[in-house]
Structure 1
Amino acid sequence: MKVKKDKQERLNLVKKIARNTFWGLMVTLVITLMMVVVATITQPKYLPVMSNNIFELKYVADWVFLMGIVLLIVLGGFILYKTVNKQSRWNFIFSNLALIMTSSGLGFIILSFLLPRNTKLTVKTVSQAVKLVNISYFLTFIIIAITTILAVHISRKYIDKNNWYLYFTLLPYIIWAGWTYQQYQHWQNFLATRNFNIEKLTAMFIYYQSHMTKIDMNLMFEGYKSCAFIALLAFIYLLTVGGVYLVFKVKEKVQRKA
């Protein structure tokens, strides 16, 4: 009788290991597939022609990208509305990713108003653009600060239970702020170089445009582009976490039926 019981326990252990291995592989597969899709569509040969300022709406890709950002903002707001008051570990992740996606998407649109409307290359317009770039960095840090405060606010009930939630809440904004600060430092170093002056910068833009390149003043606005990148990155993470969440939900249903 004891031998039979031990044999059954070993069989159950093998089944448990096999089951956990299967679901672990399923989660790994979902994450890998998302990474493959993102890596594929971001290859330069797949990227369509796009303006440096998509609000010029010169190309189809400008329209698609702008509508995509708007949809990300709406989707983020909807997910935030659905998850913010329902406490669970999954909802903590979903609500924080949705907040990042919404705020960075809105930041992208807000900062776009600083992009030069007069793209005629003169010393005056380039000088104004340089000043607007400095303002755009300042606004980017304000956007990050406001979003960080909101993130702590919506996560306060989780943080009250465990301080680790504060760490995971702040981590994305520390990375975002650090990345933006690094860009700002590069920009300031560029302005502080011995040979820098507005006349030479204007001449450089005129030279490149005379050779039919897409280099213009809008390329100086890194904060504007980084907000769009953060929104897309948050969306990718949201899709990945959503895929893993579905795997676990299917697993729970299978186990209940078993």
Structure 2
Amino acid sequence: MPVTDHYLRPERVDDVEVTPRGLLAGLGTEQLRVDVVRDDVVRLAISRGGCFDETPTHAVCVDPLAGEVAVEVERADDVVRVRTAALVVSVWLDPFRIDVHRTDGSAVVEAAQDEQGRYWSYATLNDAFVVRRRCRPEDAVYGLGEKTGRFNRRGRDFTLWNTDVLSPTASGSSPTAGTRATRAPTTRAPSSTRTTCRSRSSTTSPTRTGRWPGPSSTTATAPTTTSAARTSTSCTPRAGSTSSTSSPAPPCRRSSRPTPA
């Protein structure tokens, strides 16, 4: 378990505002928003620096709040509840904590307490945050993205790097850190053609293909291949084939017939 001695926990709820989909609660300089997506799904969001991240995620192809759902908000002295036909979300005011139960009373999420009796529904430190919940022995934990191992993630530690930017350079860095990939202008050969070198001896000569060795290549030199000794190589130019350098080499085809001594 990570050390969370210096994490900051919201101690109490300052105010509560009812919204069409649930509620908006003030937590000091931050805000908690409870949105009902459907009867059995709710979305909890806490602001960072007083602002919510409203950027839509590419992982969801529809508007999660587009559907109609019946929402009822109940107020009491120490708790505000958002109730649907399937769930009850309880936001406790002082001390602050969040519990979610089904209408039959079974728990979905219940805030956990530490040895000092403090609740850890949410705590933050700089760009990190921690959420603690009570778990029964039979409870399972699913999700967390593309991770190896069994589907039930319980009992394991994971490091999450969350981004919805569908790009290999989402972090803003080059695929080859510290280098700059450059390549000379070239025309790729059609995928149906194959371009190799001409060789009639046992010397080593470069092989030309229509593909580059990789994104970090800074020259137009392609991998090399060695022709077997005492073999004959016949070459026939093919239409449409090109070389990746300024010295085009026609495609060739190696023969299995040995060359007379």
Given the two structures, how large is their TM-score scaled by the length of structure 1? 0.19
Based on CA coordinates, which of the two structures has the bigger radius of gyration? Answer: 2
- What TM-score do you get using the length of structure 2 for normalisation? 0.19
Q: Which has the higher contact order (CA 8 A, sep 6+)?
A: 1
Structure showing the higher strand proportion among its residues: 2
